[in-house]
Homo-oligomer: A and B are copies of this chain.
């Protein structure tokens, strides 16, 4: 994970490389960051490095105290360590005399943190206080704090609601839970924007981050957001993708050993950068990122309200097009749950379980298991946008096997994906091409084939790796003026290689019927209060219990 790779030996560089000819793309993921060095004109990666964060994801405990289960924090200083290490490791692969024109950053989002007016993370001063840290995208403790934002106008462009995982709710959570700290927080800022500020010395936020995660539309924040956060949103309005926040500071030039001070692009969201890195920027090209959850990105000429999307943002992926983001709240984690819950063999690894069940499930014929599942283990994002829904399996008999259940879960993920695509289509947003990327698209051949069969259309699986870092490099090329437009940069730097997958025609009639049953069941369960009643009851019982446990401890 920490190796540095180089595809070319800089000592034998055979072209004109003098001047600001190269770009660096940095991708800050959940567990680690990655950097690539690339030279516009060719998609070839010249060097690549990975840096796992020192503290990783802070969960469970912080400074001797127990954190609530829903907490997922990160230490902003880890991003600085990662940046310094990564650039130092790849800069040695820069050909002699070459300079770096731009630096682009892709980042998880929404992962905001509170800082001083100078940009110092409050976690430096208050290392014992959970709310002083970066609240990672998957921090889920701000549920009740999204409430004030459910009345905003234009919510239909956010699938109908403001997510408790976004910056405004996380800000109100901080304000409510640690008001003293809130008073110290001159800024509340996405980690990606913060890192741009650290590197360039300029607090220039990105319209992508603000557009998707803080209701920034048509050049301004919604007044309720502005009211709630005030100056904490920074002095200036966010800037569109490809804008340079300024040159890398002298200090950072020294820290990284760069030969010059490249332009630092305003930050991108990692998933959106991935679409760019794969060159999927034409209207109708859908990028499906299949990981723990599934994220769907699509550009279009038209702005439409699409049920349950995460958002549609003008210039959300590249300027000049509307970028849509949709998703399934649970995807790979549903399968991980399965193999954790049903290990194939005593004490075997998750990988071994997957291998076993994939082999077994591949032997089943479509429909044979008699099961139907709803993939709502984490609620339903697109198209229903409801966290109060839950996973369901029906069709159990006393001869149902774990393999049957596994295959039904795989199929439910595919049905959910099909529903996302149909939701776009029904809302008038055309999908002309579907390209899969992300861990599951590479590792899970059965899932990919089932998805293709359930969708009943040809698919492609992207072959390029490190798509988000590559996308960040494309941002760098635009901000560094190496390329004039995103289209030009993508045509030079994107890795557009894919392999084709075609549906098995024999399975189509069965999956048509099962998908119809899936839709019927979805409608039934969305139209009744059974799921939310049972979930509400569980929450009541659990909170009662935790109150009593707490009382027990304090006695």
Contact = CB atoms under 8 A, between A and B. Distances in A.
A390 interface: yes
A330 interface: yes
Contacts of A393: 392-394, 396
A35 interface: no
Given A367-B538, A395-B535, A372 B524 contact: no
18 contacts: A337-B398, A337-B400, A342-B342, A367-B540, A367-B541, A371-B534, A372-B534, A378-B398, A390-B395, A390-B396, A392-B393, A393-B393, A393-B394, A393-B396, A521-B528, A524-B524, A524-B528, A524-B530
A8 interface: no
B530 A521 contact: yes
Contact of A341 (B346, B390, B400, B528): B400
A510 B537 contact: yes
Interface in A382-422: 390-398, 400-402
Interface stretch (A77-85, A280-288, A512-520): A512-520
A120 interface: no
A221 interface: no
A369 B538 contact: yes
Interface in A463-517: 510, 513-514, 517
A397 B368 contact: no
A395 B528 contact: no
A514 B534 contact: yes
A349 interface: no
Interface string A521-555: 10011001111011101101110010000000000
Contacts of A402: 341
Task: Identify which of A330, A372, A510, A528 gathers the most chain B CB atoms within 10 Å of its CB.
Answer: A372
A543 to B, nearest CB: 11
Interface string A176-194: 0000000000000000000
Given A394-B392, A400-B341, A533 B510 contact: no
Copies in the complex: 2
Nearest to A292: B398
Interface of A: 330, 333-334, 336-337, 341-342, 345-347, 365-372, 374, 377-378, 390-398, 400-402, 510, 513-514, 517, 520-521, 524-525, 528-531, 533-535, 537-538, 540-542, 545
Contacts of A378: 397-398
Contacts of A392: 392-396
A37 B390 CA distance: 57
A368 B545 contact: yes
Contact of A398 (B334, B396, B535): B334
A121 to B, nearest CB: 30
Given A368-B541, A520-B528, 15 more contacts: A337-B398, A341-B401, A346-B346, A346-B347, A365-B541, A368-B538, A368-B542, A377-B397, A378-B398, A390-B396, A391-B400, A395-B538, A513-B537, A517-B530, A517-B534
Among all A-B residue pairs, the 4 with the closest Cβ atoms: A391-B396, A346-B346, A370-B538, A392-B394
Given A368-B541, A368-B542, A395 B521 contact: no
Contact of A533 (B346, B513, B530): B513
A122 to B, nearest CB: 31
A395 B341 contact: no
Contact of A394 (B370, B391, B514): B391
A531 B521 CA distance: 9
